[in-house]
Structure 1
Amino acid sequence: MKISETDILLIPGYGKTLPGHWILRWRDKMATARVVKQAELHAPAKKDWLDTLVREVEAAERPVVLVAHSLGCILVAHGAHVLKDKVRGAYLVAPSDWDRDGLVAEFDGGDFRPIPRDPLPFPTHLVASRNDPYCGYDRAEDLAKAWGATFQDAGEAGHINVESGHGPWPEGMMSFAHFMKRLG
Structure 2
Amino acid sequence: MSVRFLTVPGLASSGPQHWQTIWEEQYPDRFERVQQVNWDWPVKEEWVAQLQKQISELTEPTILVAHSLGCITVAHWAQEFSSELIKGALLVAPADAELSKRLNFVVGFTPIPVRTIPFKTIVVASTNDIYATIGRSKVFAANWGSDFINVGKKGHINAVSGLEDWVDGKKILEHFDGVKLLEGEATRS
For 1:29 and 1:177, how far apart are their aligned partners in 2?
A: 16
Q: 2:74 aligns to what?
A: 76
Q: 2:116 aligns to what?
A: 119
Q: 13, 21, 27: which is aligned to 2:24?
A: 27
For 1:101 and 1:9, how far apart are their aligned partners in 2?
A: 26
More helix by share: 1
Q: 1:45 aligns to what?
A: 43
Runs of 4+ with >4 A deviation: none
Partners of 1:7 and 1:61 within 8 A in 2? no
Q: Are residues 87 and 163 of structure 1, via their aligned partners in 2, closer, same or farther at CA, if it must alter by over 3 Å?
A: same
Local SS of the residue matching 2:160: helix
RMSD: 1.6
Q: 2:171 aligns to what?
A: 174
Question: Are residues 1:134 and 2:131 paired?
Answer: yes
Local SS of the residue matching 1:99: helix
For 2:108 and 2:162, how far apart are their aligned partners in 1?
A: 30
Question: Are residues 1:18 and 2:15 paired?
Answer: yes
Q: 148, 158, 161: which is aligned to 1:161?
A: 158
Q: State the TM-score, normalizing by the size of structure 1.
A: 0.90
Local SS of the residue matching 2:156: coil
For 2:90 and 2:160, how far apart are their aligned partners in 1?
A: 21
Identity of aligned pairs, percent?
36
For 2:37 and 2:43, how far apart are their aligned partners in 1?
A: 10
For 1:125 and 1:71, how far apart are their aligned partners in 2?
A: 15
Question: Are residues 1:85 and 2:91 paired?
Answer: no
Q: State the TM-score, normalizing by the size of structure 2.
A: 0.88
- The amino acid of 2:120's aligned partner reads P
Matches within 5 A, 1:92-111: 92-102=91-101, 104=102, 107=105, 109-111=106-108
For 2:13 and 2:73, how far apart are their aligned partners in 1?
A: 16
Residue deviations 1:24-79 (CA, integer Å, cap 9, x gap): 11112222111111110111111111111111111111012101000000000001
Unmatched segments (≥5 aa) in structure 1: none
Partners of 1:49 and 1:75 within 8 A in 2? yes
For 1:80 and 1:16, how far apart are their aligned partners in 2?
A: 21
For 2:4 and 2:56, how far apart are their aligned partners in 1?
A: 11
Residue deviations 1:104-156 (CA, integer Å, cap 9, x gap): 3862x210011000000001011000000000000000100000000001100
For 2:70 and 2:8, how far apart are their aligned partners in 1?
A: 5
For 1:75 and 1:170, how far apart are their aligned partners in 2?
A: 25
For 2:109 and 2:104, how far apart are their aligned partners in 1?
A: 15
- The amino acid of 2:43's aligned partner reads A
